[in-house]
Amino acid sequence: MRSPTIRLLAGLAITLLAVGVYSGYTMIQLRNLRELQTGTIDRNRMDSLLLLRIQNGLNSLALTMRDMVDSSEPYPLTAWQTQLRRIRTDLEDALAREENFSPIDRTPDQRRYMANSFRQFWDALDRTFDLARHGHDDQARTLTRLSLQARQASLATNVARLLIANNESEQRAAAQTRELYSGVERDLYIFLGAMIAVILLVSLYLVQYNRSLFLRVAALSERRSELAQQLISMQESTFRSISMELHDDFGQILTAIGVMLQRADRKSGDLFEIREIVQATLEKVRSLSHALHPVVLDEVGLESALDIYLPEFEKRTGIEVRYEKTGEGRELNHELSIHLYRVTQEALNNVARHSNSKSAAVRLRFVPEAVVLEIQDEGIGFQGQQKGAAFQERPMHGLGLVSMRERAGLVNGAIEFADGETGGALVRVTVPTAGGAHART
């Protein structure tokens, strides 16, 4: 099965590219929106406020000129000069500010027209007061009525027109802003939909890939278990065959030789040493036969086989073994017995090879629906710790442990490799026996 790394990296690159493109597009849209708001909307609002200020000044100017042309007023025209000067100062300040905030779309001719109109108005106003100061009040009132009021009305109309233009421009900017917001929102939904689709496709691909991978792993695991069962069965068959050959053929031959030498020993004392060698060889052959396949296991079961094997292990290794049996013993089928016996052999061999322990404990417990076998030592634990000794490491992945794990699995059992509470290593096998321990096929 090909690795999905290249496809996933390609998908990641495409996703990052899409995120980058969308982020850049969104940043451009937001910048345009910011420019629209600061360059048009805010500028128009400030300009409109200044135009309203100018409009109010023009209204004050109109009221003042109305009083000036009213002949019933007992005051001379020059009496309004101070008030008009204040209005003029305020209007000129508002005009200067409005020039800085005038909309970008206002043409230079419109700006010049506004400035020229006010300048002509102030010139005409100055001429009016010059006439009044020289005693020509009637001519000054006539000039105010015919020229100044008309100019003021024209200025007010122009300012109102500019306010309308600003309002229309602000409405267009608001519509454009709404369009930008709608575009960004629409693009966001499209982007989110595309990302969800990409994530969904990648997730489906990973689920399918992992499913295929797990199916392959499960198939390999099943094949491995079948192979382990076949190998262990073949091993047990081979051990049984060799054991029978040693016990029946070589044992009988050596026994016969021993009997013949015992008879010949009466005639010659030199044959005593040969007889002892033959006897020792016979004992080794029997011991090897029992180690390969204990015949007693077939005849009287697991408990008696352990009763015979553990003293032999003590004699061979010098490791003291404490054997404990609890619960009501019962007959176990042959396959379960041989696997528990082999686990005991392998665990004790590990104790002899790796633990540096001088003693071990074998506990066989019969519970209502299971049998529990425990082998514990007092040496180096699986975590590599031993009380009162330098740090040493105990292997956790040897073939012996693999063999024990496979044997436990073949009889539907569970095996644990742990450190004992008081140090050393503990191997615990728990096998269900309800209805008989049936081996896994």
Fold match, 5-206 / 295-432:
no
Q: Which pLDDT band, with edges at 50, 70 and 90, does 37 fall under?
A: low
Q: Within its chain, how far is the Cα of 380 from the centroid?
A: 39
- Per-residue DSSP letter, 425: E
- The percent of residues above 70 in pLDDT, for the chain, comes to 76
Query: How far apart are alpha carbons 309 and 327 in whole angstroms?
Result: 21
Contact (CB, 8 A) for 375 and 391: no
- 287 versus 12: the higher-pLDDT residue is 12
Residue 391 confidence (pLDDT):
43
Helix-strand-coil split of the chain, %, nearest 5:
75, 10, 20
Residue 429 confidence (pLDDT):
94
- Tell me the average pLDDT across 159-175: 85
Contact (CB, 8 A) for 63 and 156: no
Q: Which pLDDT band, with edges at 50, 70 and 90, does 436 fall under?
A: very low
Q: Write the pLDDT tens digit of every residue in 291-342.
A: 666 666 777 788 888 888 899 889 888 999 999 999 888 888 888 888 899 8
Q: Which pLDDT band, with edges at 50, 70 and 90, does 427 fall under?
A: very high
Q: Write the pLDDT tens digit of every residue in 250-281.
A: 656 667 676 666 666 555 555 666 667 767 77
Residue 285 confidence (pLDDT):
66
Order the strands of the 359-367 sheet from edge to edge: 320-326, 359-367, 370-377, 425-432, 414-419
Q: Which pLDDT band, with edges at 50, 70 and 90, does 241 fall under?
A: low
Q: Within its chain, how far is the Cα of 211 from the centroid?
A: 20
Query: How far apart are alpha carbons 197 and 264 in whole angstroms?
Result: 96
Residue listed under structure tokens 């105990």: 394
User: How high is the mean pLDDT of the chain?
Assistant: 79
- pTM (two decimals): 0.46
- Give the residue extent of every domain in the chain: 5-206, 295-432
- Per-residue DSSP letter, 80: G
- Fold classified for 295-432: Heat Shock Protein 90 (3.30.565)
Residue 438 confidence (pLDDT):
41
Residue listed under structure tokens 């709608």: 182
H helices, E strands: number in the chain: 12, 5
Residue 431 confidence (pLDDT):
94
Element containing residue 73 per DSSP (H, E): none
DSSP character string of 140-177? HHHHIIIIIHHHHHHHHHHHHHHHHHHHHHHHHHHHHH
- Tell me the average pLDDT across 78-106: 87
DSSP character string of 210-242? HHHHHHHHHHHHHHHHHHHHHHHHHHHHHHHHH
What is the CATH class of 5-206? mainly alpha
- 431 versus 170: the higher-pLDDT residue is 431
Q: Identify any residues that bridge with 376 across adjacent strands, giving them in sequence order.
A: 361, 426
Residue 108 confidence (pLDDT):
82
In this predicted structure, the answer to whether residue 231 has a pLDDT above a threshold of 70 is no
Contact (CB, 8 A) for 433 and 370: yes
Q: Write the pLDDT tens digit of every residue in 371-391.
A: 999 999 988 877 665 544 444
Query: How far apart are alpha carbons 253 and 258 in whole angstroms?
Result: 9
- Tell me the average pLDDT across 191-206: 83
- Tell me the average pLDDT across 210-228: 76
Q: Which pLDDT band, with edges at 50, 70 and 90, does 230 fall under?
A: low
In this predicted structure, the answer to whether residue 234 has a pLDDT above a threshold of 70 is no
In this predicted structure, the answer to whether residue 439 has a pLDDT above a threshold of 60 is no
- Per-residue DSSP letter, 379: S
